Chain A
Amino acid sequence: MSDATSGTIRLRAGDRVASKWSGQSILVERFLGEGANGSVYLARLPDGPSHCALKIGNDVYALQSEINALKSVGGDAPRLLLADDGTCRGVSFPFYVMSFVPGKPLGETTFGADAGALTTFGADLLGQLRELHAAGWAFGDVKPDNVMIGRQGEVRLVDYGGATRFGSSVKQFTELYDRGYWKLGGRRAEAAYDLFAFAVVMLEAAGLGRRVRAIAGTSRRDKAKELVALVDESPLLAAEANVLKRLLRGECGDTEQALGAWAAAAAKPPPRHAPAAGERWPAYWFAGAAAAFAGAVWWMSGNGLS
């Protein structure tokens, strides 16, 4: 689906991408990661004061679809700075530039024994989803790789390639976080779709990722039941257990309500360690992040197929 001169290119530090329509030259600083429809680099625009993120795609259609979503969702999503076609070292490709979200992906990082921090993280992530949902969009591919944690512990969703308007089919998802895969609901974009994925992310953040994958890997029919029962296995999630179960079962389709229930549950915690006010998130949270999971399933993408 791409023209003859385009192709996949791995950019290197110091490379300059010449833009076709706006006539700019973008300086590449380093590779950041692989996204749904292309690779992302840390870069600088000539007139930009600081860093930005450059995403280059190999499918003009899929990338444009992502650009359209990014333009529409607003809120806390990275800001779109430029959408154009570029050339570098003789290879041309579509690309866009967005504001850079510093931080590390949640990846498989767990929160150790810090239940309070886990609660705060959950509330922040729900807060991100609430904004998006209020605007009528589902994120679609909620998973640890797409959740960034900044230096101060701030939580941001990244990679809006899967963002889908409520009512349309979710284009891009990852099995483990897809309620359809667990037979706990359909794939139409709605708040409850993301809230299910949020609950699975919380199980992983509480250190139950291996258990979730073990259950997913079996061919038993009652996988869904086992997943829901898993919530009770983490003492870290004891306070919010009931909220999480409801989200997994699809019993709450309102993110504002979910956030309210989350806060209420956290407000009356069972006796356990509570973090001091203003406590910084420990450094080990950031360690060992970004283990790549099962690749996202592209229900909307030309990638990988000839």
Chain B
Amino acid sequence: MKQIIVITDGNSNEGISPITAAAEAYARGVVVNVIGVVDREAAGMRGEREIEAVAKAGGGLHRIVSPTKLAYTMQMMTRHTVVATIQQVVNEELRSIFKNETASLETLPPEKRAEVVRSVDEWTETAPLQVALLIDASASMKHKFDAVREAAYDLMLSMQARAGKSELAVLHFPGNNANAVEIDVGWTCELAKLEKILYKLNVKGTTPTGPAILDALALFGGVGRPSPRRAADAAWGDYVV
């Protein structure tokens, strides 16, 4: 169970399209969820279409919320993604067992359904889980960092309670020098480590969401360590939002 949760308040403006990056992540088995944080919940969001498109390409969910709802939203998304992933597998199994393309949890009789859900619950509780929080650290996000820290702490608290191994990593973008991201905390299951996130900041005025997603993806292994952005990526700024 691998997820990236992007927390942002606006449009990306540098490097590879975040939609392309999210599709790449999804293809490698990492679901990308996106949370847009706005000052007031009712207020619309400029980057809303991008947020929606990135989540869609990443096989994940998107939500626009106020900072006060951040912790709640992050938990819901994480849980929902785990459950959805497991359910997808379960439904595929059911289709093959019943040799019926429309078989799903909904079509099972109540007793069978009870059994299947019991297994799904068990699996949800015990499956290894890795969540990378990818935080937009542009200037306009600065006053929301307290809420982001609280939410990260809260997510870790719930992940810690699971029976299965649960790890969280926190990254922000843009990173220092030519890096798209800065790793605040690598994979950890310790709450204490989350107190030091979002301090070493480098406000450059760019929002390289796409390259940051790729670098976060690298954290999950298999594609190497996060590397400095390639010049070709940096020049690749004319994607469609």
Report the minimum CB–CB distance from B53 to chain A (whole Å). Answer: 14
| Chain A residues with CB under 8 A of B27 | none
The answer to whether B162 and A305 have CB atoms under 8 Å apart is no
The answer to whether B163 and A219 have CB atoms under 8 Å apart is no
Stretch at the interface among A60-68, A150-158, A229-237: A60-68
Report the minimum CB–CB distance from A69 to chain B (whole Å). Answer: 9
Residue in B106, B121, B125, B158 whose CB lies within 8 Å of A60: B106
- Residues from 277 to 306 in A contacting B, C-beta threshold 8 Å: 297-302, 304-306
Interface residues on B, range: 20 to 34
The answer to whether B158 and A187 have CB atoms under 8 Å apart is yes
Residue in B72, B109, B114, B117 whose CB lies within 8 Å of A297: B72
Expressed in whole angstroms, the Cα–Cα distance for A60 and B113 within the complex equals: 9
The answer to whether B124 and A300 have CB atoms under 8 Å apart is yes
- In this complex, the member of A85, A94, A300 whose beta carbon has the largest number of chain B beta carbons within 10 angstroms is A300
- A272 adjacent to chain B (CB < 8 Å): no
The answer to whether B163 and A169 have CB atoms under 8 Å apart is yes
Query: How many residue pairs at the A-B interface have CB separations less than 8 Å?
Result: 86
The SS class assigned to the B binding surface is helix
The answer to whether A297 and B75 have CB atoms under 8 Å apart is yes
**Known contacts A60-B113, A300-B79: A305-B63 contact under CB 8 Å:** yes
The answer to whether A301 and B118 have CB atoms under 8 Å apart is no
Interface residues on A, range: 35 or more
Expressed in whole angstroms, the Cα–Cα distance for A297 and B157 within the complex equals: 14
- B146 adjacent to chain A (CB < 8 Å): yes
Report the minimum CB–CB distance from B71 to chain A (whole Å). Answer: 8
Expressed in whole angstroms, the Cα–Cα distance for A112 and B196 within the complex equals: 46
- Residues from 61 to 120 in B contacting A, C-beta threshold 8 Å: 61, 63, 72, 75-77, 79-80, 83-84, 87, 104-106, 109-110, 113-114, 117-118, 120
**Known contacts A168-B125, A187-B160, A299-B158: A305-B80 contact under CB 8 Å:** yes
The answer to whether A64 and B114 have CB atoms under 8 Å apart is yes
Expressed in whole angstroms, the Cα–Cα distance for A244 and B237 within the complex equals: 59
- B43 adjacent to chain A (CB < 8 Å): no
**Known contacts A67-B114, A83-B114, A84-B110: A301-B79 contact under CB 8 Å:** yes
Expressed in whole angstroms, the Cα–Cα distance for A297 and B77 within the complex equals: 12
**Known contacts A21-B110, A71-B114: A305-B158 contact under CB 8 Å:** no
The answer to whether A186 and B160 have CB atoms under 8 Å apart is yes
| Chain A residues with CB under 8 A of B163 | 167-169
The answer to whether B121 and A68 have CB atoms under 8 Å apart is yes
The SS class assigned to the A binding surface is loop
Report the minimum CB–CB distance from A172 to chain B (whole Å). Answer: 10
Report the minimum CB–CB distance from B14 to chain A (whole Å). Answer: 29
- A121 adjacent to chain B (CB < 8 Å): no
- A3 adjacent to chain B (CB < 8 Å): yes
- Residues from 57 to 101 in A contacting B, C-beta threshold 8 Å: 60-61, 64-65, 67-68, 71, 83-85, 94
Expressed in whole angstroms, the Cα–Cα distance for A230 and B114 within the complex equals: 44
The answer to whether B76 and A301 have CB atoms under 8 Å apart is yes
**Known contacts A60-B106, A68-B117, A298-B79: A180-B87 contact under CB 8 Å:** no
Report the minimum CB–CB distance from A9 to chain B (whole Å). Answer: 16
**Known contacts A21-B109, A60-B105, A300-B79: A305-B61 contact under CB 8 Å:** yes
27 example contacts (A-B, Cβ-Cβ < 8 A) are as follows A1-B84, A2-B106, A21-B110, A60-B106, A60-B113, A61-B117, A61-B120, A64-B114, A64-B117, A68-B114, A68-B117, A68-B118, A68-B121, A71-B114, A83-B114, A167-B163, A168-B161, A168-B163, A169-B158, A297-B76, A299-B158, A300-B124, A301-B80, A302-B84, A304-B76, A305-B63, A305-B80
Show the binding face of A for B, using Cβ within 8 Å: 1-3, 6, 21, 60-61, 64-65, 67-68, 71, 83-85, 94, 167-171, 180-181, 186-189, 219, 297-302, 304-306
